[in-house]
Amino acid sequence: MAHSRNKLTVKAIKTSPKGAYGDGGGLLLRKTDRNNGQWIYRFRLHGRQRQMGLGGLSKVSLSKARQIRDEYQALVIDGIDPVRERKAARQAQIVKTVTLADVADIAFVARQAELRADGKAGRWFSPLKIHVLPSLGKRPIVSITQNDIKDTLGPIWHEKADTARKAINRLQIVFKHAVAMGLDVDIQAVEKAKALLGKQRHQVKNIPSMPWGKVPEFFASLDEETPVQLALKFLVLNPGARSKPVRFLRTEDIEKNVWVVPADMMKGQKGHTRDWRTPLSSESLAIIKAAEPFERNGWLFPNQSGKGVISDASMSRLMERRGLEYRPHGFRSSFRTWAAETGQNRDIAERSLAHKIHGKVEASYLRTDFLIERAELMLLWSKFVSSVELSELEQATVMKPQNTKEGQSKAEKEMFDSMIERGKAKWVTRTLPVSRSGSE
């Protein structure tokens, strides 16, 4: 039996010419010339004749080939496919070398479709790139534990709490992606690390906002017709918009007295935002008129080179140079506080900031954006900020639909016409606080 299984000898292998030589037990040597050849293992499994390579003659000795044959033959006896088993073993070995940086890159690519401009600005990836990958990026992800994560983020956990929070949340996404890839990672490692790091001591600070009573005086002080000052004035009057859509305002975005903010300029997950209609007051339209001489390539607020728009920090720096602690984004809070303290409709105030005011189910049925109601509220805010009294013809500052084919429903047109008819009586009887002290 032993002879039938081990027919070949080392000497015979060296002297044998080109051809196929069986060693028994399914082991075969196929020589391509006197010095080179390939070891083959033949077996029968589940009624099928199969074969698999065991390596070249120059790298695999006769004794080694027999050892491998015996191991695979034992698998066949147990009904296990040795080809599939070897492939799984090789895959497992490869998996052990996949680094955190590798998976982070793959996870980022998978999420790009959900990110603004495919994440090219780097805001999604930067917390990982700056605070995690330098320490753990080259480590096999399967070897990373909660203690590794704790040691990496510990130095910034309290000092840079917001950044650390973003980094650990991104890391959680990467680990989940690793699981989806079939990698044997500890999916609970990130949560365990959070437990080890403990609660963050850092207090989240709101963006400093100007008390609404001080806004008219500040607005009046913006008396220079420069792109930055005009953009800041426009932002104050239209707090529903953030800095980016204001800075990137284009002439074609204005339709009569309505500014249509493109969906990709709105805050929110890519693919889940819509164009946003913003009613413009006569003061806002006057600013647009004043900005027209600066227009370059369609941008109303271009930078000095004319090849782009003013920077994200330009309006903030203007306020800093004046010794103000407040920030442009804070005017959203100024408006919202004014609306609350002057008794304006809460839902309309929230919608004026492009906030959601209903749950998913209700929102799926509620298809209005309350343009007319928001126009009335923004008119009051605009007049308050610019210290201008309401006139009898304020209705001219809101777009009056010419027909129902211009994106306005019949009901909305009727509502607008009703508002026009109320006219002066409504504006005169509407009261505003005499004091502009606002909320400190």
Are residues 143 and 79 part of one domain?
Answer: no
- Exposed/middle/buried for residue 194 (C-beta within 10 Å: 0-12, 13-18, 19+): buried
Vertex 322, ends 321 and 328: CA angle to 5°? 85
Measured in degrees and rounded to the nearest 5, phi and psi for residue 80 equal: -105, 135
Q: Can you give the pLDDT at residue 274?
A: 65
Q: Is 302 helix (H, G, I), strand (E, B) or coil?
A: strand
Q: How far apart are CA 103 and CA 130, in angstroms?
A: 16
Instruction: Give percent above pLDDT 70 in the chain.
Output: 78
Q: Do the domain assignments include residue 95?
A: no
Return the pLDDT at 41.
94
Contact 51, 43 (CB under 8 A): yes
Contact present, 39 and 60 (Cβ < 8 Å) = yes
Regarding whether 359 and 283 lie in a shared domain, the answer is: yes
Q: Phi and psi (nearest 5°) for 389? A: -75, 150
- Asked whether residue 438 is domain-assigned, the answer is no
Q: Which residues touch 6 (CB under 8 Å, ≥6 apart)?
A: 23, 24, 66
What pLDDT is stored for residue 259 in this prediction?
Answer: 83
DSSP string for residues in 6-50: ----HHHHHH--SEEEEEETTEEEEESSSS-EEEEEEEEETTEEE
Find the CATH number of the domain harbouring 20. 3.30.160.390
> Quick one: 192 and 327 in the same domain?
no
> To which H or E segment does residue 175 belong?
helix 161-180
Q: Which token pair is 54?
A: 């065991």
pLDDT tens digit sequence for 93-132: 767 788 999 999 999 988 877 775 556 557 888 999 999 9
pLDDT one digit per residue (tens) for the chain, 440 residues: 445 788 999 999 988 999 999 999 999 999 998 889 999 999 999 889 999 999 999 899 999 999 999 999 999 999 999 999 888 887 777 677 889 999 999 999 888 777 755 565 578 889 999 999 999 999 999 999 999 999 999 999 998 888 999 999 999 999 999 999 888 899 999 999 999 999 887 665 677 888 998 999 999 999 999 999 999 999 999 888 888 888 888 888 888 788 887 766 655 444 445 667 888 888 888 999 999 899 888 888 888 887 888 988 899 999 999 999 989 888 888 999 998 898 888 888 888 787 666 555 444 445 566 778 888 888 888 888 887 665 544 444 443 433 333 444 555 455 445 444 443 333 333 333 333 344 44
Cβ atoms of 372 and 415 closer than 8 Å: yes
Q: What is the CATH number of the domain that holds 393?
A: 1.10.443.10
Looking at the structure of the chain, the number of domains it has is 3
Q: What is the pLDDT of residue 243?
A: 84
Instruction: Find out whether 69 and 54 touch, Cβ atoms under 8 Å.
Output: yes
The region, left, alpha or beta by phi > 0 then psi within -120 to 50, assigned to residue 380 is alpha
- By three-state DSSP, how is residue 189 classified? helix
Helix (H) or strand (E) holding 54: strand 48-56
- The DSSP string of 263-286 is GGGSSS-TTS---EEEE--HHHHH
CB atoms within 10 A of CB 34: 12
- Gap between the Cα atoms of 337 and 221, Å rounded: 22
Q: Is 178 a domain residue?
A: yes
| CA 57 from centroid of its chain's CA atoms | 54
User: Of 33, 51, 86, which residue is a domain's last?
Assistant: 86
Residues in a beta bridge with 255? 258
- C-alpha 322: how far from chain center: 34
Which tokens sit at 28? Answer: 């075969």
CATH code for the domain of 135: 1.10.150
d(C-alpha 231, C-alpha 157), whole Å: 37
Please tell me whether residues 37 and 106 are part of one structural domain: no
Domain boundary among 140, 174, 197: 197
Tokens of 84: 């599939």
Which of 56, 86, 116 is the last residue before a domain boundary?
86
Rounded CA separation 136/175 (Å): 13
